[in-house]
Amino acid sequence: MSRAPIDAIKIFGGRSSDALAKKIAAHLGMTLGHGKVTAFPDGEILVKVDEDVRGRDCYVVQATHQPVNDSLIELLIWIDCLKRASAERITAVIPYYGYARQDRKDTGRVPITAKLVANLVTAAGADRVLAMDLHAAQIQGFFDIPVDHLNATPVILTYFRQLQKQYGDIVMASPDVGNAKMAAGFAEMLGCDLAIIDKRRKSGTEVKSTSIIGDVKDRAVFMVDDMISTAGTVCEAAKLLKAAGCREIVVAATHGVLVGPAVERLTGPMIDRVAITDTIPDLGRLGPLAGKLDILSVAPLIGDAIRNIHDNKSVSSLLSPHMGKR
């Protein structure tokens, strides 16, 4: 049974995702909700919604990227503000979920911060969460409220298929063993071969790729991951692939975190094209990548998911037949 008409939806954009929120609203044929965020001299944040949201189905779009803690606190304040303004339902739309990599105790006396963040979002008053490409799928289970987990497979697959016509004979490569399932799914959907690279991590910022399983000689190689952080993994893999005789290398990822030496590494000659989605805005970081960078928008996908949530329809249907491939 459908809810109220779509004009009962109100979409608000936090400061970290204002541009993406505007594109989502435009896709749905509506304007962004009116609200403003003010920072006091001591750093405290005030959120004020400048229109009536009583009884409305509200969505606040706020990625928790750098500065991660400021972005997270702003999301919580948005949720609390809408709750106190008597919104009927509040959905936290989190295009990029900060702290997702702290999803388990891999050594003694460390926190599981991904769970803590889930607790904070729930405690703030969110009724459900719409997230894009969580680093670990089990994070959905950290929430005590419904979670709709999107992935960027449809967007990246369309991009790869367009390039496939240009590059001809391609191989889908996994930059490490942990990524093999994702790469295998893309290889199946693209109808191409699969190669797997053996990666050994030396530290949090340094990796070493040692061998390739599969034939890449005189072929174009596509690689995909959920995020590019320091770019150490993909650049080490690219060196090994080029040494093995591949023609071109195209790397795509949902989240362009791109911290530390990432941009400098990606501007090098080993990688020919880079594609990221707009879950994290440019923020002036990406200028050196001009000419080899493609930005893919997930706004239509998120917009369709919001429409389906509002109408009590399936969100996973938007990913079929891609569901299960990530």
Q: How many CA atoms lie within 13 A of 14 on its CB side?
A: 31
Question: What is the spatial distance between Cα 300 and Cα 171, in angstroms, rounded to a whole number?
Answer: 28
Q: Give the burial string for 172-191 (b: 16+ CB within 10 Å, else e).
A: bbbbbeebbebbebbbebbe
Question: What is the spatial distance between Cα 254 and Cα 278, in angstroms, rounded to a whole number?
Answer: 8
Hey, is 289 helix, strand or coil?
A: helix
Whether 54 contacts 87, CB under 8 Å? yes
Question: What is the spatial distance between Cα 114 and Cα 137, in angstroms, rounded to a whole number?
Answer: 11
Annotated active-site residue in 165, 199, 239, 242: 199
What number of H helices and E strands is found in the chain? 8, 14
Question: What is the spatial distance between Cα 183 and Cα 325, in angstroms, rounded to a whole number?
Answer: 9
How many CB atoms are located within 10 Å of the residue 251 CB? 27
How many CB atoms are located within 10 Å of the residue 112 CB? 16
How many CB atoms are located within 10 Å of the residue 239 CB? 15
Catalytic annotation on 23?
no
Active site residues: 199
